[in-house]
Amino acid sequence: MRNTAINKQVQDNLTPEDVLTDLLAGNERFVNNELEEVSHLDLVQQTTTGQYPKAVVLSCIDSRVPVEQVFDQAIGDVFVARVAGNFENEDILGSLEYSCAVAGSKLVLVLGHESCGAVKAACDDVKLGNITHLLANIMPAVKKSAKEIDGDNSSANPKFVAKTVENNVLLTIDRIRERSEILADLESSDAIKIVGGVYSLQTGKVTML
């Protein structure tokens, strides 16, 4: 059973590649229903005065994508920023910058997922309250997919939705690099990596893009 939390020394010694390998190994345990046993109380006590997470995951709010479990991570291991449709905005960028530049995380992972309701709503150009503003962030991905996928460009076409989920992750990564000088510089100096993946609702597996 795991009973030690990640500390500064462990975080310092990790490379971005190590962290990605670790998260994907955790996902493999999740897919195989072999989650590591953890003494949560020990980790609570060890992290009371500080945290040294190895990664920050930008995820959708979807209840079917419980990020820590999907990567078999425990208390203190990862930051998670969540917004429907897993895109960046100024506040999310600030959260990612805090994770990497202040708290020492080595990896930014943008995680989309199969059949994302926010992506589907953007495909259908839904207008509803504050959701309209939220969906505007996903529209660049919808427009890109419309040029790449023939036929029905609505949520009724699973191929169009899947392509838009991927494009949304990739465009979000592009915009993170464009809009955050701090993160772009950290990546240029190999201190961090910014990567993207898509979670399968059918298998629980994360496939990197």
- Closest approach of Cβ 158 to Zn ion, in Å? 15
In the complex with Zn ion, the residue whose CB is nearer, 61 or 208, is 61
Angle at 16 between CA 14 and CA 22, to 5 degrees: 70
**Which CB sits closer to Zn ion, 58 or 60?**
60
60 marked as binding residue: yes
CA distance 48 to 65: 27
Task: Output 84 or 194, the one with its CB closest to Zn ion.
Answer: 84
100 is in an annotated binding site: no
Taking the complex as a whole, how short is the minimal distance between the CB of residue 118 and Zn ion, in angstroms? 5
DSSP string, 32-60: TT-PPPB-HHHHHHHTTT----SEEEEE-
Beta bridge partners of 196: 110
Q: Give the distance from CA 165 to its chain's centroid.
A: 12
Task: Give, as one character, the DSSP assignment of residue 181.
Answer: H
Closest separation between CB of residue 190 and Zn ion, Å?
A: 31
Residues forming the site for Zn ion (CB under 5 A): 60, 62, 116, 118
Q: Is 123 annotated as belonging to a binding site?
A: no
- Binding site feature residues for Zn(2+): 60, 62, 113, 116
